[in-house]
Structure 1
Amino acid sequence: MHNFKELEIWKISRKFCSKVYLATNNFPQSEKFGITNQMRRSAVSIPSNIAEGASRHSNKDFCRFLEIAIGSCYELETQLLISNDLGFLNDASNHSLLYELNRIIMMASKFMSSLKKNDLK
């Protein structure tokens, strides 16, 4: 079992979630229950699944929750690209968010590899 509040990936993904909320504040009101809501839910899902996985007693279970978090990252990546296509996000904001999101994906993937290696020992 891990203390999720001490995990760097959780800290980064939590801060990233706030950035998604701020970025979607300027989306059209007509999208409040559309892409805005979906993007926020995807963003919240990332640190939430990391936290839930950290509570599990096996690395295998934790890896499963990290996989779900990565899935939420890819879902959010798609939504960011669509938002940019629709003109809801400018290119600079979109690029910055995508860069941070890919960093989270890489961190989660490396962490999963580390957990799997520890299971082999």
Structure 2
Amino acid sequence: MEKSKSFTELIVWQKAHALTLEVYKITQDFPKEEVFGITSQIRRASVSVAANIAEGYKRRSANDKARFFNISEGSLDETKYFLILGQDLGFIENNIDLLEKTDEVAKLLYSYKKAILNANS
């Protein structure tokens, strides 16, 4: 695995960050009464994905790094749920593209976490 100088160089972080930007964009059109409901929740969850990748990046032990990537995985599933809920409530017309992006980030997170743990075994 090639050594990066910053978490911003990680493709998994770049994809997670792009997903967060898209979540912010689509939630701008959510009903105003949802500002403190689903809008806040989905934004917080999506931010947590990239933020935990960034926080885990500088951790020294493989297990500690993997723990933060696991938290990212949980936040990613939470984001995915809110995308499904947003569509079911009629706030999002077609979220197939966003759901595919969550799946892509999930695969990258899993692979990155696995590589970290395997490199130190």
Compare the two structures and name the one with the higher helix fraction. 1
Q: Which runs of 5+ in 1 are unaligned?
A: none
CA drift of 1:14 comes to 0.8
* CA–CA distance in structure 2, aligned partners of residues 85 and 11 of structure 1: 28
* CA–CA distance in structure 2, aligned partners of residues 99 and 80 of structure 1: 11
State how 1:1-121 maps to structure 2 within 5 Å.
3-91=6-94, 94-120=95-121
Q: Which runs of 5+ in 2 are unaligned?
A: none
RMSD of aligned alpha carbons: 1.2
| 2:105 alignment partner AA | I
The alignment partner of 1:50 has SS state of helix
Residues 76-97 of structure 1 show CA distances to partners (whole Å, capped at 9, x for unaligned) of 1111111110000012xx1111
Runs of 4+ off more than 4 Å: none
Residues 42-98 of structure 1 show CA distances to partners (whole Å, capped at 9, x for unaligned) of 01001100000001011111100000000000001111111110000012xx11110
* CA–CA distance in structure 1, aligned partners of residues 26 and 76 of structure 2: 16
CA drift of 1:16 comes to 1.1
TM-score, normalisation: structure 1: 0.94
| 2:33 alignment partner AA | S
Q: What is the aligned-residue identity percentage?
A: 35
